[in-house]
């Protein structure tokens, strides 16, 4: 057996028990690698549980900067007896197993084709501490210390991070550093350090930042001018509303009065959340809710109202595994159809697909301009993968010259000057009518908002022609939306090719890596990362320019492909499905395998020949 | 209903209020409800109340859900913005609107189907939060628009027009509102305008969650023998605990009643409620005693009406959330956007 050797290029996975305090130790470990200038991408794989069930924390270390999920494990830190067998099995041949060797295990519990590293963590803790909670928590820090020795990490970096982590609770700093050294010293004394895997200081991180997409989206809402947030707790979106609360506490408190420029309501359910958002936006404030698939299901009736009565609203949908309660702590891209066509009757809704926290921030802010401009709900479609995991991304940027686009709102002056007001009158030919806010003018501009059919002056109507005119104008507005939403981003292969790939959101890093793997196999692919629905004309052009287009997405029913077929009138046979939906993040290995099986250079035949 | 349009002209000598507006300026379009519907009397009472208080119509927002009662905002305050939302969800839409602009008056109009069945949750939670609003339930115990099914406020043992007996217990929204912390609770009857108008005025001047349960007989489906929401039944069992006058002017208040029978209640907005006791042992400020008293009347089949509870120190949702004095919908990026320099600091903290 040849042990794996790699510098700054491996996957380490921690198997823990939920509620054991492992998360902060694991985060500390991940952050230390980043501080050494090496790209490290953590992923939490957690159960729908508070205490007792298995939880994993995976870190992909990549000098080349790959941040997508790789698949496989090179070093397993097996701290959970419950999942021992499964964890052991997942280690790559030649990989390493790190475990607590306090209690002897029979040889049948190990593998011969891996290196086994035992550290008597429990024994050391029991000797050093008497308090049971301390024994538990310091055991975690101790394994970080041992790993630091095994991977040849810079101990000063870890020490300074501990200092930052416990800033304000200073008396915790030294005990943690002591535990760190206990683990490290034991390893240096009893084990051969370093092992084949090593972390070496580098400068591949650059000025990038690390944060969760949910937090970034919430910060985007702050920068976008949101003043009202109504939400109902649901994994994986709760941390978005909570982050908004935290960012607001920091940035939205009036210096003099100490009062808040924001109102955050934890509602009784998702129906109430969206109702509050719609009421607030109707009254001219920027409002949003954060939810996940089940919440979108509950909001359907209100979303139809907002579409038909033309009220702005922003909905952050942090997608998880569906249907029903599904996999609440796993990731998917499976709410596309339920959001795109939410509610009964003919409806279409704008969606944005951020790829990482940076775009969560950008789109988080942009969504409020779009909602006001288009007077319609805007869905920001996050995924658990980017929402609840910290991800390395470009620093957030803001242009101070930027003003909020409040859209077409008539002022008291407009009304006083006698400007004609028809709430559903298409004055500018872009399908977007003007609105007035309650309280604007004593005698002009009042109207009645309703979900029933109305004429262009908002008067109740049961006339077919009023209905058709209104529905057709909404389609015109939909066309206007195509010109306002973020365009798809195209990246062509180094050589001309007839094959293309379309994908969205968190698939991005895995796709970047897969395209390199495939290029090495002689399969050249042009890439198109779609960033919004409705699709701009660049999407139709891309499909038209390629013989074969793979649509890579993380759901069972090829929902993105359905939208492409449906909205762009594409022949379904032209769009090849590449689907991944087991709830874990899609990997480059999977994408490369799936595409090369369908399109090796030899197998690529012009589309017309295939179907003839 | 009538198909005639309302003429815009009116008698030149119609009385005007402090704003120089006539009562006609507070009306809406012609009602399309059934002739004699109790809801139309409530609309008229709203018009009357707002006219007398000299409220600016455009500073009132009318919100409703779905149903006969929820249609009525079209029939009053034509110069106000209105929002006919979805079934049972008026409270959340109103809450959002209120959060966006604390300076307007929010008038929520709902029915017993809208608020006691599909919307029971939203009713309860909007009251719990102390949204500054007037929440009127036009309560007829029946689904009118879908032709006569029982609603959740129909009394057990009441008979439908088709002769079916209601076997489900009734929901008493007044008791619920009290239990849930409404700071103003009243019950009235659409047929008693003298009682209803001052209650609406007092509810509007109350700076918290004000709830009015207004029994409003349905002439089409629930006005027959055996109904407990018919005009005859309500008249026979109406048991008013007090009668109310609202004094909004700054005039000196002179009262001339026997001691102990009249209470002057000053509200935060300066208005004074002149409350004449009809039930000697009823204390309008004691929530727990009032709840017990109401249960007792209910057990005897009586319908207690009047101002049933008022808290003179209401804490509304904005106060709980400590929002700024300026309406949130008036804030611009100079206040709301923390800017690039702050973002640089945030970036630095994320490395």
In a domain, B318, yes or no: yes
* The pLDDT of residue A605: 46
Compute the distance between CA of residue B154 and CA of residue B200 in angstroms, rounded to an integer: 24
Structurally, how many domains does chain B consist of?
A: 1
Which string of DSSP letters, residue by residue, matches A458-517?
S-B---HHHHHHHHHHHHHHHHHHHHHSPPPEEE--SS--SEEEEE-GGGHHHHHHHHHH
The size of the A-B interface in CB pairs under 8 A is 226
Report the pLDDT value the prediction gives residue B3, as an integer from 0 to 100: 56
Cβ-nearest to B343 among A207, A278, A398: A398
Tokens (6 digits) for A593: 């395998």
B336 lies within 8 A of chain A by CB? yes
* C-alpha to C-alpha distances, A498 to A542, A545, A592, B145, nearest whole angstrom: 10, 8, 17, 60
Domain A211-393 sits in CATH at 3.40.50.970
The string of pLDDT tens digits covering residues A162-196 is 999 999 999 999 999 999 999 999 999 999 999 99
Decide if B324 and A254 are in contact by the 8 Å CB cutoff. Answer: yes
- Token output for B283: 């204390």
CA torsion, ordered A314, A318, A319, A321, to nearest 10 deg:
-140
Residue B274 confidence class, pLDDT cut points 50, 70, 90:
confident
Alpha helices in A151-199 (DSSP H): 155-165, 173-190
| Separation between Cα atoms, residue B161 and residue B30, nearest integer Å | 28
DSSP B232-291: HHHHHHEEESEEEEEE-S-S-------TTTEEEEE-TTS-EEEEEESSTT--TT-HHHHH
Taking the Cβ of residue A164 and every Cβ of chain B, the question of whether any pair is shorter than 8 Å is answered with no
The C-alpha atoms of residue B188 and residue B137 are separated, in whole angstroms, by 10
CA distance B235 to A404: 57
Question: With an 8 Å Cβ cutoff, is B97 touching chain A?
Answer: yes
Closest listed residue to residue A237, CA positions, set A358, A342, A388: A388
Lowest mean per-residue pLDDT among A227-236, B140-149, B334-343: B140-149
| Residue A282: CB atoms within 10 Å | 29
What pLDDT band is residue B264 in, cutting at 50, 70 and 90? confident
Query: Which range among A275-289, A354-368, B228-242, B316-330 shows the weakest confidence by mean pLDDT?
Result: B228-242
What's the pLDDT at B302? 92
Give, as one character, the DSSP assignment of residue B165. Answer: B
- Report ipTM for this prediction: 0.96
- Among A428, A395, A387, A398, residue whose Cα is nearest residue A410: A428
Residue A51: strand, helix, or coil = coil
Q: Is residue B311 part of a domain?
A: yes
Residue B274 lies in a domain: yes
Among A366, A372, A363, A306, smallest CA distance to A339 is for: A306
Name which of B55, B64, B327, B328 to mutate to probe chain A: the one with the most chain A Cβ atoms within 10 A of its Cβ.
B328
CA distance B284 to chain A (A): 30
Identify whether B128 is part of a domain. Answer: yes
Judge: B81–A436 Cβ closer than 8 Å, yes or no.
yes
Helix, strand, coil content of chain A in percent (nearest 5): 40, 20, 40
Say yes or no for a CB contact (<8 Å) between A285 and B100.
yes
Is there a contact between A237 and A290 (Cβ–Cβ < 8 Å)? yes
**CA B205 from centre of chain:** 12
| Whether A439 and B92 lie within 8 Å, measured CB to CB | no
Whether residue B101 and residue A284 make contact (CB cut-off 8 A), yes or no, is yes
* Cα(B49)–Cα(B51) distance, integer angstroms: 6
- Report pLDDT for B5: 64
The predicted model gives A341-366 an average pLDDT of 98
| Alpha-carbon gap, residue B336 to A227, rounded angstroms | 8
* Beta carbons of B96 and A276 less than 8 Å apart: yes
Is A598 in the B-facing interface, judged by CB distances under 8 Å? no
Contact A451, A304 (CB under 8 A): yes
* Mean pLDDT along residues A405-416: 98
Query: What is residue B297's three-state secondary structure?
Result: helix
Q: Chain B partners of A284 at a C-beta cutoff of 8 Å?
A: 100-101, 329
Query: What is the per-residue pLDDT for B2?
Result: 54
Inter-chain residue contact B97 with A404, CB threshold 8 Å? no
Q: What is the CATH number of the domain that holds B284?
A: 3.40.50.970
**Is pLDDT at B44 greater than 70 in this prediction?**
yes
Exposure string over A381-390, b if 16+ CB within 10 A, otherwise e: bbbbbbbbbb
Given this model, what pLDDT does residue B260 score? Answer: 61
Evaluate whether residue B348 is within a structural domain. no
Q: Which of helix, strand or coil describes residue A383? A: strand
Residue A570 has pLDDT above 70, yes or no: yes
Give the 3-state secondary structure of residue B175: helix
Which positions in chain B touch A400 (Cβ < 8 Å)?
339-340
Q: Which positions in chain A touch B56 (Cβ < 8 Å)?
A: 442
- Give contacts of A 513-552 with B, CB under 8 A: none
Residues 6+ apart with CB under 8 A from B126: B91, B92, B94, B95, B108, B133, B135, B209
Count Cβ atoms below 10 Å from residue A12 Cβ, excluding itself.
27
- A223 vs B91, B124, B338: nearest CB: B338
Pairing of strands A197-198, A499-503: unpaired
| B84 to A439: CB separation less than 8 angstroms, yes or no | no
For A223, the closest of B335, B337, B347 (CB atoms) is: B337
B175 lies within 8 A of chain A by CB: no
CATH superfamily label, A6-198: Pyruvate-ferredoxin oxidoreductase, PFOR, domain III (3.40.920.10)
User: Which among A263, A301, A364, A398 is the top mutation candidate for probing chain B, defined by the most B β-carbons within 10 Å of its own β-carbon?
Assistant: A263
Range A489-611 has CATH code 3.30.70.260: no
Query: In terms of CA atoms, which chain A residue is nearest residue B19?
Result: A442
**How far is it, in rounded angstroms, from Cα A488 to Cα A482?**
11
User: What does the pLDDT look like over A221-232, one tens digit per residue?
Assistant: 999 999 999 999
Residues 303-342, chain A: which have Cβ within 8 Å of B?
Answer: 305
Bridge partners of A502, per DSSP, are A528, A551
Look at residues B299, B308, B246, B301 and name the one whose alpha carbon lies nearest to residue B279: B308
Tell whether B125 is within 8 A of chain A (Cβ): yes
Q: Which residue from A314, A213, A365 is spatially nearest to B338, judged by alpha carbons?
A: A365
Cα A96 from Cα A237, distance rounded (Å): 35
Q: Does A441 touch chain B (CB under 8 A)?
A: yes
Confidence at residue A599, expressed as pLDDT on a 0 to 100 scale: 79
Residue located via tokens 């009249």: B262
Q: What is the mean pLDDT of chain A?
A: 95
Write the residue in B100, B339, B350 that is nearest to A210 by C-beta.
Answer: B350
For residue B12, what are the contacts with CB-CB under 8 A and spacing of at least 6? none
* pLDDT at residue B1 tops 80: no
The beta strands (E) that lie in A115-271 are given as 115-119, 197-198, 209-212, 228-231, 263-266
Residues from chain A contacting residue B351 (CB–CB below 8 Å) = 207-210
Q: How far off is chain B from A304, nearest CA to CA, in Å?
A: 10
pLDDT for A611 equals: 46
**pLDDT per position as a tens digit, B163-219:** 999 999 999 999 999 999 999 999 999 999 999 999 999 999 999 999 999 999 999
Is there a shared CATH topology between the A211-393 domain and the A489-611 domain? yes
Helix (H) or strand (E) holding B202: helix B193-205
Tokens of B243: 């009668």
CB distance B143 to B229 below 8 Å: no
CA–CA gap between residue A306 and residue A152 (Å, rounded): 57
**Rg for chain B (alpha carbons), in Å?**
21
CB-closest option in B83, B97, B322 to A260: B322
Is the CB of residue A87 less than 8 Å from the CB of residue A15? yes
pLDDT for res A52:
85
Asked if the C-beta of B89 comes within 8 angstroms of chain A's C-beta atoms, the answer is yes
Beta bridge partners of A138: none
Set of chain B residues whose Cβ sits within 8 Å of the Cβ of A281: 96, 100
User: How many CB atoms lie under 10 A from the CB of residue A490?
Assistant: 15
| Chain B residues touching residue A269 (CB < 8 angstroms) | 121
**Residue B333 at interface with chain A, using a CB cutoff of 8 Å:** yes
Taking the CA of residue B260 and the nearest CA in chain A, the distance in Å comes to 42
User: Of B98, B318, B346, which has the smallest distance from its Cβ to A396's Cβ?
Assistant: B346
Q: What is the CA radius of gyration of chain A?
A: 27
pLDDT of residue B278: 86
Task: Copy the structure tokens of residue A604.
Answer: 């690529």
Q: Answer whether B58 sits within 8 Å of A442, measured CB to CB.
A: yes
Is B342 near chain A, with CB under 8 Å? yes
Q: Give the domain range for residue B178.
A: 23-330
Distance from C-alpha of A45 to C-alpha of A65, rounded to nearest angstrom: 21
pLDDT, tens only, A117-126 = 999 999 999 9
**Alpha-carbon gap, residue B283 to A272, rounded angstroms:** 35
The domain ranges of chain A are: 6-198, 211-393, 412-484, 489-611
Nearest by Cα to A588 from A208, A20, A70, A161: A70
Q: Tell which phi-psi region holds residue B322, choosing left (phi > 0), alpha (psi between -120 and 50) or beta.
A: left
Nearest CB neighbour to B121, from listed A225, A269, A283: A269
Task: State the smallest CA–CA distance between residue B56 and chain A in angstroms.
Answer: 7
- State the Cα angle at B36 between B30 and B40, rounded to 5°: 45
- What residues of A are in contact with residue B78 (Cβ under 8 Å)? 446
User: How far apart (Å, rounded) are the C-alpha atoms in residues A342 and A521?
Assistant: 42
Cβ atoms of A398 and B339 within 8 Å: the answer is: yes
Contact criterion met (CB < 8 Å) for A280 and B100: yes
A517: tokens are 């793997």
């Amino acid at each position: 057996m040849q042990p794996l050797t790699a510098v700054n290029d491996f996957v380490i996975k921690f198997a823990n028990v939920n509620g054991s305090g492992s998360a902060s130790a694991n985060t500390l470990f991940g952050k230390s690698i980043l501080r050494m200038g090496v790209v490290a991408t953590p992923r939490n794989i957690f159960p729908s549980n508070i205490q007792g069930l298995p939880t994993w924390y995976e870190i992909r270390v990549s000098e080349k900067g790959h941040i997508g999920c790789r698949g496989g494990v090179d070093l397993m830190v097996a701290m959970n007896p419950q999942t021992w067998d499964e964890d052991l099995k997942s280690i790559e041949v030649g990989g390493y197993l790190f475990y607590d060797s306090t209690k002897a295990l029979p040889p049948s519990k190990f593998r011969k084709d891996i290196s086994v590293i035992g550290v008597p963590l429990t024994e050391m803790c029991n000797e050093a501490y008497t308090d049971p909670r301390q024994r538990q928590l310091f055991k975690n820090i101790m394994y970080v210390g041992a790993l630091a020795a095994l991977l040849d990490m810079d101990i000063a970096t870890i020490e300074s991070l501990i200092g930052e982590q416990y800033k304000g609770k200073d008396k915790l700093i030294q005990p943690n550093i002591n535990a760190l050294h206990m683990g490290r010293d034991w390893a240096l004394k009893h084990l051969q350090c370093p092992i084949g895997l090593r972390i070496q200081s580098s400068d591949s991180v650059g000025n990038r930042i690390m944060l969760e997409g949910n937090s970034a989206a919430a910060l985007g809402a702050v920068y976008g001018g949101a003043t009202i947030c109504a939400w109902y707790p649901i994994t994986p979106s709760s941390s978005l509303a909570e982050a908004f609360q935290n960012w607001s506490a920091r940035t939205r408190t009036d210096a003099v009065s100490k009062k808040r420029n924001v109102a955050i309501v934890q509602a009784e359910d998702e129906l109430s959340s969206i109702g509050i958002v719609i009421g607030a936006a109707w009254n001219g404030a920027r409002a949003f809710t954060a939810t996940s698939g089940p919440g979108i299901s509950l909001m359907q009736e209100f979303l139809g109202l907002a579409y038909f009565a033309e009220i702005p609203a922003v909905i952050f949908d942090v997608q998880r595994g569906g249907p029903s309660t599904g996999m609440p702590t796993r990731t998917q891209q499976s709410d596309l159809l339920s959001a795109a066509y939410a509610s009964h009757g003919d409806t279409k809704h704008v969606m944005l697909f951020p790829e990482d926290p940076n775009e969560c921030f950008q789109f988080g802010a942009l969504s409020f301009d779009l909602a006001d401009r288009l007077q319609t709900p805007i869905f920001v479609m996050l995924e658990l993968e980017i929402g609840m995991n910290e991800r390395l991304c470009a620093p957030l940027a803001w242009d101070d010259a930027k003003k909020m686009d409040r859209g077409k709102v008539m002022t008291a002056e407009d009304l006083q000057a006698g400007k004609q007001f028809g709430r559903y009158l298409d004055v500018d030919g872009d399908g977007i009518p003007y609105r007035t806010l309650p309280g604007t003018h004593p005698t002009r501009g009042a109207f009645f908002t309703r979900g029933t059919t109305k004429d262009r002056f908002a008067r109740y109507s049961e006339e077919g022609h009023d209905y058709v005119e209104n529905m057709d104008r909404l389609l015109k507005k939909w066309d206007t939306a195509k010109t306002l939403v973020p365009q798809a981003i195209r990246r062509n292969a180094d050589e001309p090719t007839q094959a293309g790939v379309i994908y969205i959101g968190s698939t991005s890093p895995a796709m970047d890596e897969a395209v390199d793997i495939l290029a090495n196999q002689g399969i050249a692919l042009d890439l198109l990362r779609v960033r919004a629905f409705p699709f701009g004309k660049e999407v139709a052009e891309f499909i038209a320019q390629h013989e074969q287009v793979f649509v890579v997405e993380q759901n069972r029913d090829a929902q993105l492909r359905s939208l492409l077929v449906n909205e762009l009138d594409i022949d379904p046979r032209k769009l090849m499905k590449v689907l991944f939906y087991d709830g874990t993040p899609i990997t480059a290995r999977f994408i490369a395998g799936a595409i090369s099986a369908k399109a090796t250079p030899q197998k690529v035949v012009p589309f017309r020949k295939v179907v003839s | 209903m009538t198909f005639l349009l309302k003429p815009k002209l009116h008698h030149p000598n119609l009385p005007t209020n402090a704003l120089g507006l006539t009562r006609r300026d507070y009306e809406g379009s012609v009602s399309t409800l059934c002739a004699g519907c109790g809801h139309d009397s409530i609309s008229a009472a709203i018009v009357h109340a707002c006219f007398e208080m000299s409220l600016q119509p455009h500073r009132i927002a009318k919100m409703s859900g779905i149903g006969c009662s929820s249609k009525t905002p079209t029939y009053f305050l034509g110069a106000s913005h209105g929002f006919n939302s979805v079934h049972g969800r008026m409270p959340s839409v109103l809450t959002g609107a209120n959060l966006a602009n604390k300076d307007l008056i929010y008038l929520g109009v709902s029915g017993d189907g809208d608020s006691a069945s599909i919307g029971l949750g939203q009713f309860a939670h909007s009251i719990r939060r102390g949204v500054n609003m007037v929440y009127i339930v036009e309560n007829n115990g029946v689904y009118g628009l879908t032709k006569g099914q029982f609603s959740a406020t129909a009394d057990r043992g009441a008979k439908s027009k088709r002769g079916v007996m209601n076997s489900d217990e009734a929901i008493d929204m007044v008791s619920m509102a009290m239990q849930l912390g409404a700071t103003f609770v009243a019950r009235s009857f659409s047929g008693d305008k003298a009682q209803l108008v001052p209650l609406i005025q007092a509810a509007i001047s109350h700076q918290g969650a004000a709830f009015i349960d207004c029994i409003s007989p349905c002439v089409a489906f629930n006005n027959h023998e055996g109904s407990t929401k018919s005009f005859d039944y309500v008249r026979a069992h109406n048991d008013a605990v007090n009668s109310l006058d609202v004094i909004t002017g700054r005039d000196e208040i002179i009262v001339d009643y026997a001691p102990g029978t009249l209470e002057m209640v000053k509200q935060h907005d300066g208005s004074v409620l002149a409350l004449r006791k009809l039930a000697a042992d009823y204390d309008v400020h004691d929530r727990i005693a009032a709840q017990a008293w109401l249960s007792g009347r209910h057990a005897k089949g009586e319908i207690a009406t009047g101002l049933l509870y008022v808290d003179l120190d209401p804490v509304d949702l904005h106060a709980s959330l400590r929002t700024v004095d300026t309406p949130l919908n008036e804030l611009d990026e100079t206040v709301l956007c923390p800017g690039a320099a702050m973002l640089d600091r945030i970036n630095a903290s994320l490395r």
